[in-house]
Amino acid sequence: MALPAKNLLGNETSPYLLQHRNNPVHWRAWSVEALQEAKALERPILLSIGYAACHWCHVMAHECFEDDEVAEVMNRLFVNIKVDREERPDIDQIYMTALGAMGEQGGWPLTMFLTPDAKPFWGGTYFPKTAKFGRPGFVEVMNAVHAAWQEKKQQLTRSAEALSAHVQKRLAPAGRTGHGLEPPLHALAGKIASAMDPQTGGLRGGPKFPNAPFLDLLWLDWLKHRSAEHRDAVLRTLRHMLSGGIYDHVGGGLARYSTDAHWLVPHFEKMLYDNAQLIRLACYAYGETNDQLFRMRIEETVDWMLREMRVEGGAFASSLDADSEGEEGKFYLWNRAQIEDVLGTEADELLAVYSLASPPGWEGDPILHRLDHPEPLPQEQERRLRELLNKLRERRDSRVRPARDDKMLVDWNGLAITALAIAGRQLDRSNWIEAASKAFRSVCESRQEGRLPHSIGGQKCLFPGIASDYAAMISAAVALHGALQDQQYIRQAEAWAEMLDRWHGDETRTGYYLTASDSPDVPIRIRGDVDEAIPSATAQIITALVQLSSASGNHAFYEKATQVAEAALARSLGQFSGQTGIVHAASIARQPLKLLMNDPSGETFVPVANRLPDPRRVDIVLGPEEGPAERQAGIIVDRTVPAAYLCIGQSCLPPFRDATTLEAALRSSLAGDHG
């Protein structure tokens, strides 16, 4: 079966794929039909994976995929498949793992050559049309691959079989029993902390990424083991990120990473998942320190998310591009003359605190940052600086904006909803909680027969969803229940847990696959154990089931979570990296916290719980009648007396009768490790 000899991307939902719909390349989206075509024609597949906000993806597109000469070679020699890694993280993980196994540095665009049955035999990342930057030209590469395929087909096929078996073992390891395994939380936290930059935070050297799974693990180790050095490593990292050029001081929000070792020079794309995780981590930091830097950045980043990332219906877009008008970062950069043009004599007031940097090798306008004056100033002065920055933002709004990837990814929206619910509670912003609730409803409206899609683009949805979609939305439901104490969220979360079991459960019923059992086009059904910029699907599932057990009072969810955690820990022993999320989630499963509050006025204990978010803890305000959460905890509540009950693992402390002693307990080792 051969598909039409033309570009077939015009009807796709992904803005990234639609960016390529007018290429002269005969692109196909990843599908059963495209894979069948390769087999029918006995042609290798040229697989190109990228995403809409990826700078080098755009560069390769302009140099190669828009070029008639390059397209002629691609169309003659290969079946060409284009994948949006955000729509198909399962496909991306398979072939990125294969590239790593070849000893190559990963990244996007990912360019892979596959046998007609989709097994990888060679690949790389960005290729220019003609040789430069020490990289071979793409036409040269394709001709060499074609010649090798013609002359050494059997050898390449055997190599591809072996490589696929390696990927299968890495991403879909057989189930193992792990009964009694202790998550190595403290030991792993020590290893991560020893690799952290003692001056600026983050991992030593550059580029620097906001590695949320690492920061989450260090923070949990502080909470459980009171390891102040690990807490301080997180706070140091956040403070430098939120003062550096990687943070958009004018409009709010964090860029994907900094290209240097000082958080100064950003790669300007903005991702929803980075900023959702930043908000949540900043809430933990603010609860611990009361440092106004964190409060300001929470407010600015939430405002940015609500202002620039919401799409019709209330859910959130995926990303903002790094480029505008063909230049990376042009939308975000300022020189002194431009600032003076907007602020006049007030420019000196702003630039006494904020700096303009043009580091060696930087070719664009300067980068605005606050690394020279990171400490928050008195409130009135900070408010005045915000007024000046808002004037710059108003002027910036007239510039040509970076493109926005409008597709709504369900798991990333789950992260954003959770962050908004936590931040809304902590800073008493009911409008943020309402925004989270509206986004939740928008995602719910995309269900078909109770199942979630993975991607929503306008009226089109990409089904079936992946395991992380269910996990992230279960956690989002529990977070909204914590904010609104509405049981509808728990009922919905329970329904999604059932869907997760039905469509993603493994053969032993002690784990899950990333892809659903009826996904027709996956060459390998992977587990989703490996962290990327967000915790792995397995880690998210464990955490979600623990939270759901505490919120619903259904102990079966906790038993499932511990089974999954033990099996995942056992599998992680044979892996080299990317297991931080599993260790973090398994540690939470070992000792979750639940706070039950008999607080009829909502003014005694609830504000304390709101101020001090804890990744281990689920908060429940008790109603007038006994409910399943307190039955699960095994406590008897005297509803005539306001009290709070803190349950640690499977036991509960004596009731707290006033807010001061509760706050002291939540801040102390009482909520730490209890064996």
Task: Report the largest interatomic distance among the alpha carbons of the chain, rounded to a whole angstrom.
Answer: 84
pLDDT at 312: 95
Q: Count H helices, E strands: the chain?
A: 25, 21
Specify the DSSP element, H or E, that contains 151.
helix 138-151
**How do residues 427-471 score in pLDDT, each as one tens digit?**
999 999 999 999 999 999 999 999 999 999 988 899 999 999 999
Q: Say how many CA atoms lie within 13 Å of 590 toward its Cβ.
A: 21
**How do residues 341-367 score in pLDDT, each as one tens digit?**
999 999 999 999 999 999 998 989 999
Give start and end residues of each alpha helix (H) in 397-504.
410-426, 430-444, 467-484, 487-504
pLDDT at 154: 95
Strands 27-29 and 79-84: parallel
Which regions of the chain are under pLDDT 50? 674-675
Tokens 């039950």, located at residue: 596
DSSP letter at 616? Answer: T
Structure tokens at 498: 């059932």
pLDDT at 675: 37
Cis check for the bond before 453: say yes or no (omega within 30 of 0): no
Work out the angle at residue 199's Cα, subtended by the Cα atoms of residues 197 and 204, and round it to the nearest 5 degrees: 20
pLDDT at 670: 62
R_g over Cα of the chain: 25
Structure tokens at 376: 């928050």
Structure tokens at 504: 């993603």
pLDDT at 440: 98
> How far, in Å, are 13, 407, 435 from residue 410 at the CA level?
14, 10, 16
What DSSP assignment string belongs to 58-114?
HHHIIIIIT-HHHHHHHHHH-EEEEEETTT-HHHHHHHHHHHHHTTPPP-SSEEEEE
Predicted TM-score (pTM) of this structure: 0.96
Q: 479, exposed or middle or buried, with CB in 10 Å at 0-12, 13-18, 19+?
A: buried
pLDDT at 669: 62
Do the Cβ atoms of 521 and 35 come closer than 8 Å?
yes
pLDDT at 178: 66
pLDDT at 55: 87
pLDDT at 671: 56
Do the Cβ atoms of 123 and 132 come closer than 8 Å?
no
